[in-house]
A and B are shown apart, each in its own frame.
Chain A
Amino acid sequence: DTAVSQTPKYLVTQMGNDKSIKCEQNLGHDTMYWYKQDSKKFLKIMFSYNNKELIINETVPNRFSPKSPDKAHLNLHINSLELGDSAVYFCASSQGLLGGYTFGSGTRLTVV
Chain B
Amino acid sequence: AQSVTQLGSHVSVSEGALVLLRCNYSSSVPPYLFWYVQYPNQGLQLLLKYTTGATLVKGINGFEAEFKKSETSFHLTKPSAHMSDAAEYFCAVNRGGSQGNLIFGKGTKLSVKP
| A residues adjacent to B (C-beta < 8 A) | 4, 31, 33, 40-45, 48, 55-56, 90, 92, 94, 96-106
Contact = CB atoms under 8 A, between A and B. Distances in A.
Interface stretch (B12-20, B78-86, B95-103): B95-103
A100 B34 contact: yes
A104 B41 CA distance: 11
Q: Is the interface of B mostly helix, strand, loop or mixed?
A: strand
Contacts of B109: 41
Interface of B: 32, 34, 36, 38, 41-46, 49, 51, 88, 90, 94, 98-104, 106-107, 109
Nearest to A31: B100
Contact of B100 (A41, A96, A104): A96
B107 A41 contact: yes
B3 to A, nearest CB: 13
26 contacts: A4-B43, A40-B106, A41-B38, A41-B88, A42-B104, A42-B107, A43-B44, A43-B90, A43-B104, A45-B103, A48-B101, A55-B98, A90-B43, A94-B100, A98-B32, A98-B49, A98-B51, A100-B36, A100-B49, A101-B46, A102-B46, A104-B43, A105-B43, A106-B41, A106-B42, A106-B43
